[in-house]
Amino acid sequence: MEYEISLLTTMGISVLFALSLNLITGFCGQISLGHAAFLGIGAYTAAMAGKAGVPFLATLPIAMVLAGAVGIVVGLASLRVRADFLAITTMGVGFLFVGFVRQQDWLGGELGVSGIASTGLSKTAFMALTLALCVAAAALSLYIRAAWMGRVFNGIAEDEDTMRVLGIDAPRYKLVAFAIGTALAGLAGALYAYQLKFIDPGSFGFVDSVTVLSMVVVGGIGSVTGVAIAAALLSALPAWFQFIGDYKLLMYGGLLFLMMRFAPGGLAALAERFFTPTPDSGEPSQP
Amino acid sequence: MNPVVNPAVNTSSSPAAPLLSVDGVTVRFGGLTAIDGVSFDVFPGELLGLIGPNGAGKTTMLRSITGVVRVTEGHVTLEGQRLDALPIQQRIQRGMSLSQQLVRPLRSMSVIDNVALAAGSAKTVRPLRSLLHVARTEELAVARQMLARVGIAQHADQSPATQPLGVLKRLEMARALALHPRLLLLDEPLAGLNSKEARALADTIADVNRQGVTVVLIEHNLGEVMRICSRLVVLDNGRKINEGDPRTVMNDPTVRAAYLGGDAVSHAAAQGGPHA
C-alpha cells in the first residue's frame, strides 16, 4: 500500500507540474523549454524555508510567490522574443538555474539538499493534499479557459498582432500566464521536495523540462483533461518499467517528435476524432 | 473638453476641433520615404476618403495612425492627445478601430466568436477583469447584430478557415465595429466583393457614419468613394496632393494625372462600375 501511495503522490505532482506548463504553452501559446527551473525554484525554496523552521503549509505559498516572481522576469523576455527564440531563451533560463544552483554552497551545490523537514502529515494525508491541489489546479485551468481570460489567451496563442488590433494588451496577458504557470510549478516543486526529502540540481535540468513538455504535447496542447491523463501515465511509466529510467530522454524526446509529427493535437484530439460520429473529413465519402 | 459629438455635420466651415489630427507625418523605411510630411485633420462625424494610386502610402498612413508603423517625424493626435508613444492596443482602447486590408481572422474560433471577442473589449481591458467574467451572452448578441449589419449573419457559426475573401472582409469590418469605436479606420473594405455586395457594404459604412462614428476610408472603388465620402484626401508618392470636396478634388488635373500615371485603366473602370 505504501508503494501505491507514493506512486499516486508522484503522479499528482507530475500532473500539477504539467498543468502549470499547459497554462503557459497550451493556453497562451508561449513555448517554454526551461520549465523545470521553476519546479526547482519551488523545491529549493520549500526545502530551505523548511530547514529554517517555517512550517510546511507556509512554505507552499512562499515557493509559489518566488517561482512566480522569477516567472514574471522570464515572462518579460517573452515580450521581446517570439516562438523559436522564446524556446531558446527559456532553455537558457533552465541551464542558468542549474548552473547557478551548482555553484551555491548554501544550496548544497552539486550534492543538493538532504534531510528536508517533515511535513508533519502522514503519507496518506500528504497524498490527499497533493491530489486535492491537483484537482484545484485543474479546476482553475478549466475556469480560466471558460472565462474571458481563456478566450484572450486562445487568441494570443494564435495571432498576437491581431489581438493588439482588437485592443488587447497582449504583453500583460502573457505576463499573467507566466506568473500563474510558474507559481503553480513552484507549488509542484515544493511538494516534490517534501515527498523525496532530498533534492539536487540534476532533478531540474533540461531532461525534466523536455519531459514535462512531452506530457503537455502528448495530452494535447491546451486540453486540461488530456494533459492530466498524459502526465499521470507518463510519470507512472518509469515506476512500472524500470528500464525506462535509463532511456528517459530517448523515450520522452521520441514521444514528443512522434506526437508533433503524426498527432499534433495529442490524445485530446485523437479522442475527439474517435468519438465524433461524422467528422468533416468523412463527409465526401457519404452518399 | 470639446463638445465633439456632433455627427453628420459638413465640417468644411465648422469650428469643431478635429477628432484625429495628422501633423507633418513622415515615415521612412531605411532609405525609402513612404510618407513625406503629410498633414490632415479628421473632424467628428466625418466620412473621409483617403485615396490615391497603388503605392501612394495610404496603408502606411493608416498604419502610422494605429501605431503598427512608427512615424519618423511628425505627430498623430486623437482628441488633442498625442499618440506617438502609445502601442497599438492602447490607441485602440482610446476609441479607434481598424479593419485591415489583409484579413486576419482567428481561425481557431468561429466567425461569431471572432466578433464576440472584440465586443468583449470592456471585459478584456485588464487581465483581472477578464478572469472575473465568464458570461458572454451580451457580447454574442452584439456580435450577431454586427454580423447582420455587414450581411454575413448566415456564416456566424462557421469557421473563418472555410470562408471566401468577401465574407472575411466583412468579418474584419464586423470585428472593428464590435469595438464600438469613435473613429473607424477601414482599409479597402470593399475589395473582393461583387458590385452588389460592395454597394450594400458602402451603404452600411455610410449608415454607421450617420449614427455618429467618424470614418476614414481607404478604397480603390472610386464609384463608391464618390457616393459616400463627404471629403477626400489624396496621396501620391507619399505626399498629399489635394484635399477637399470629392467632386472638386476629382476634377483637379494633378489628381487625374496621378491616377492616369498609375494603373489608370482599372481605376477608370472602377469609377464606371466596380468589378468583382
Is any Cβ of chain B less than 8 angstroms from the Cβ of A180? no
Q: CA of B187, closest CA in chain A: separation in Å?
A: 13
Biggest CA–CA distance in chain A, Å, is: 73
Q: CA of B33, closest CA in chain A: separation in Å?
A: 24
- Decide if B120 and A148 are in contact by the 8 Å CB cutoff: yes
Residue % of chain B over a pLDDT of 70: 89
- Decide if A148 and B134 are in contact by the 8 Å CB cutoff: yes
- Decide if B66 and A165 are in contact by the 8 Å CB cutoff: yes
| 3-state SS assignment for residue B34 | strand
- Chain A residues within 8 A of B88 when measuring between CB atoms: 164-165
Between CA B70 and CA B25 the distance in angstroms is 10
- Chain B residues within 8 A of A169 when measuring between CB atoms: 89-90, 125-127
- Chain A residues within 8 A of B134 when measuring between CB atoms: 143, 146-148
B194: in domain: yes
Mark whether B188 and B87 lie in a shared domain: yes
pTM: 0.86
- Decide if A169 and B90 are in contact by the 8 Å CB cutoff: yes
B12: in domain: no
Task: Give the lowest-confidence range in A20-34, A194-208, A255-269.
Answer: A255-269
Single-letter amino acid code for the residue at B242: N
Mark whether B213 and B240 lie in a shared domain: yes
- Name B40's bridge partners: B22
Size of interface A-B (CB pairs under 8 A): 87
pLDDT confidence of residue A250:
81
Task: For B114, name the nearest residue in chain A, comparing CA atoms only.
Answer: A155
Q: In sequence order, what E strands does B147-255 have?
A: 183-187, 214-218, 231-236, 239-244
Residue with cell 508503494: A3
* Per-residue buried b or exposed e for A61-76, using 16+ beta carbons within 10 Å of the residue's own CB: ebbbebbbebbeebbe
Q: In the numeric block, which cell numbers belong to residue A266?
A: 495529442
Mark whether B121 and B25 lie in a shared domain: no
Confidence of residue B264 (pLDDT cuts 50, 70, 90): very low
pLDDT confidence of residue B273:
42
Averaged pLDDT of chain A: 89
The predicted-structure confidence for A11-57, as pLDDT tens digits, reads as follows 999 999 999 999 999 999 998 999 999 999 999 999 999 999 999 99
- DSSP state for residue A25 in the 8-state scheme: I
B48: in domain: yes
Mark whether B186 and B276 lie in a shared domain: yes
Q: In the numeric block, which cell numbers belong to residue A149?
A: 481570460
- Chain A residues within 8 A of B87 when measuring between CB atoms: 164
Average pLDDT over residues A214-225: 91
- Decide if B107 and A158 are in contact by the 8 Å CB cutoff: yes
- Chain B residues within 8 A of A172 when measuring between CB atoms: 126-127
The number of residues in chain A equals 287
Q: CA of B273, closest CA in chain A: separation in Å?
A: 32
Mark whether B194 and B65 lie in a shared domain: yes
Phi, psi of B41 (to 5 degrees): -115, 150
- Chain B residues within 8 A of A155 when measuring between CB atoms: 106, 109, 117
Q: CA of A160, closest CA in chain B: separation in Å?
A: 10
B213: in domain: yes
Mark whether B110 and B68 lie in a shared domain: no
Task: For B185, name the nearest residue in chain A, comparing CA atoms only.
Answer: A165
Among candidates A81, A45, A44, which has minimal Cα distance to A61?
A45
Is any Cβ of chain B less than 8 angstroms from the Cβ of A283? no
**Stronger pLDDT, B263 or A145, i.e. the higher one:** A145
User: Total domain count for chain B?
Assistant: 2
Beta-carbon neighbour count of residue A2 at 10 Å? 8
Domain ranges of chain A: 2-205
Q: Are A203 and A110 in contact (CB under 8 A)?
A: no
* Per-residue buried b or exposed e for A244-279, using 16+ beta carbons within 10 Å of the residue's own CB: eeeeeeebbbebbeebeeebebbbbbebeeeeeeee
B3: in domain: no
Alpha helices in A121-265 (DSSP H): 123-146, 148-158, 160-165, 170-196, 206-219, 224-240, 248-262
The predicted-structure confidence for B94-103, as pLDDT tens digits, reads as follows 999 999 888 8
- Decide if A168 and B124 are in contact by the 8 Å CB cutoff: yes
Burial class (CB in 10 A: 0-12, 13-18, 19+), B20: buried
Mark whether B220 and B159 lie in a shared domain: no
For residue A224, what are the CA distances in angstroms to A217, A279, B226? 11, 22, 54
Q: Are B99 and B183 in contact (CB under 8 A)?
A: no
| 3-state SS assignment for residue B27 | strand
Q: Which of B177, B196, B231 is the last residue of a domain?
A: B177
Residue % of chain B over a pLDDT of 90: 63
For residue A107, what are the CA distances in angstroms to A44, A114, B86? 8, 10, 44
Beta-carbon neighbour count of residue A140 at 10 Å? 16
Residue A204, pLDDT > 90, answer yes
Confidence of residue B61 (pLDDT cuts 50, 70, 90): very high
Among candidates A213, A190, A252, which has minimal Cα distance to A21?
A213
Mark whether B248 and B120 lie in a shared domain: no
Confidence of residue A260 (pLDDT cuts 50, 70, 90): confident
- DSSP state for residue B187 in the 8-state scheme: E
Containing domain of residue B138, as a range? 105-177
- Decide if A162 and B179 are in contact by the 8 Å CB cutoff: no
Average pLDDT over residues A198-219: 92
Residue B275, pLDDT > 80, answer no
Q: CA of A241, closest CA in chain B: separation in Å?
A: 39
Q: Are B199 and B275 in contact (CB under 8 A)?
A: no
Q: CA of A25, closest CA in chain B: separation in Å?
A: 16
B4: in domain: no
Task: Give the lowest-confidence range in A151-160, B86-95, B255-264.
Answer: B255-264
Q: Which of B154, B177, B200 is the last residue of a domain?
A: B177
pLDDT confidence of residue A278:
54
pLDDT confidence of residue B84:
86
Confidence of residue A277 (pLDDT cuts 50, 70, 90): low
Q: CA of A23, closest CA in chain B: separation in Å?
A: 14
HSE value, Cβ hemisphere, 13 Å, CA-based, for B135: 3
Mark whether B23 and B91 lie in a shared domain: yes
- Decide if B89 and A169 are in contact by the 8 Å CB cutoff: yes
Q: Which residue among B92, B107, B129 sits closest to A166, beta carbon to beta carbon? A: B92
Mark whether B195 and B246 lie in a shared domain: yes
Task: For B65, name the nearest residue in chain A, comparing CA atoms only.
Answer: A165
Mark whether B212 and B276 lie in a shared domain: yes
Q: CA of B186, closest CA in chain A: separation in Å?
A: 13
pLDDT confidence of residue B265:
42
- Chain A residues within 8 A of B124 when measuring between CB atoms: 148, 151-152, 167-168
- Chain A residues within 8 A of B104 when measuring between CB atoms: 159, 161-162, 165
B10: in domain: no
Q: What CATH number has the domain bearing residue B46? A: 3.40.50.300
Q: In the numeric block, which cell numbers belong to residue B92?
A: 485602440
B113: in domain: yes
For chain B, first and last CA: distance in Å? 45
Among candidates A35, A142, A87, which has minimal Cα distance to A260?
A87
Mark whether B233 and B162 lie in a shared domain: no
Among candidates B10, B67, B4, B270, which has minimal Cα distance to A165?
B67
Is any Cβ of chain B less than 8 angstroms from the Cβ of A64? no
Between CA B178 and CA B157 the distance in angstroms is 17
The predicted-structure confidence for B83-135, as pLDDT tens digits, reads as follows 988 999 999 999 999 998 888 999 999 999 999 999 999 999 999 999 999 99
Residue % of chain A over a pLDDT of 70: 95
